[in-house]
Chain A
């Protein structure tokens, strides 16, 4: 079964440093997403990406965050200057399934645990 692959599985970084989280979505999917889950809290939407641009973003996704699809297979999330409160599991997802013209069917990766110290 096709998978969404995320690397690394665990990243430890110092506060103020830049981090890049990487994802390889399912190859024929067109929609890409980042979600995060702070320990003990809900899974929260960060951003969706389609046709090489951001289609939606949440309030969490401020100027410190950016996404990129640099080479047609990878999808990255960059945090420019990490804060302690950025510590969370970050999940990449992709979707290609459409029902009545609306995208459905999200497949999630296993996540990257980001620890900011």
Chain B
């Protein structure tokens, strides 16, 4: 039951360029979406979130876009830096519950 899906297991980007990480969901009850970054042997670290009443949220180099009709969200990182290299998870929360449903993650590698 893959309610949240990240179809790209990995992404490689040159330093300074844009990284675009994608996430699709199927459950229309989801109303809040989050992106987490994870380094090996550490827990997920919150990056940015977006409520379903918005279509864009920006925080510094990170922007999340939400397309509700397509049930798709994306995380843009501009400019990408080598320190951004990590696994990125998108997660979704619904107004019917109090738990996060995670995607499978995308490993981002930013090359110097």
Contact = CB atoms under 8 A, between A and B. Distances in A.
Interface stretch (B11-19, B42-50, B59-67, B78-86): B42-50
Contacts of B28: none
Interface residues of B, number: 24
Contacts of A110: 41-43
Contacts, number: 60
Interface string B83-112: 000000101010101111111110000000
A70 B109 CA distance: 42
A18 interface: no
* Most B CB within 10 A of own CB, among A42, A48, A108: A42
B102 to A, nearest CB: 4
A103 B98 contact: yes
A45 B41 contact: no
B97 A42 contact: no
A106 B46 contact: yes
Contact of B98 (A9, A41, A55, A107): A55
Interface of B: 32, 34, 36, 41-46, 49, 51, 89, 91, 93, 95, 97-105
27 contacts: A4-B43, A41-B104, A42-B102, A42-B103, A42-B104, A42-B105, A43-B44, A43-B91, A43-B102, A45-B99, A45-B101, A48-B98, A48-B99, A55-B98, A56-B99, A93-B43, A102-B32, A102-B93, A102-B98, A103-B98, A104-B32, A104-B93, A105-B46, A107-B46, A108-B43, A109-B43, A111-B41
Minimum-distance CB pairs A-B, first 7? A108-B43, A43-B102, A45-B99, A110-B43, A108-B44, A111-B43, A109-B43
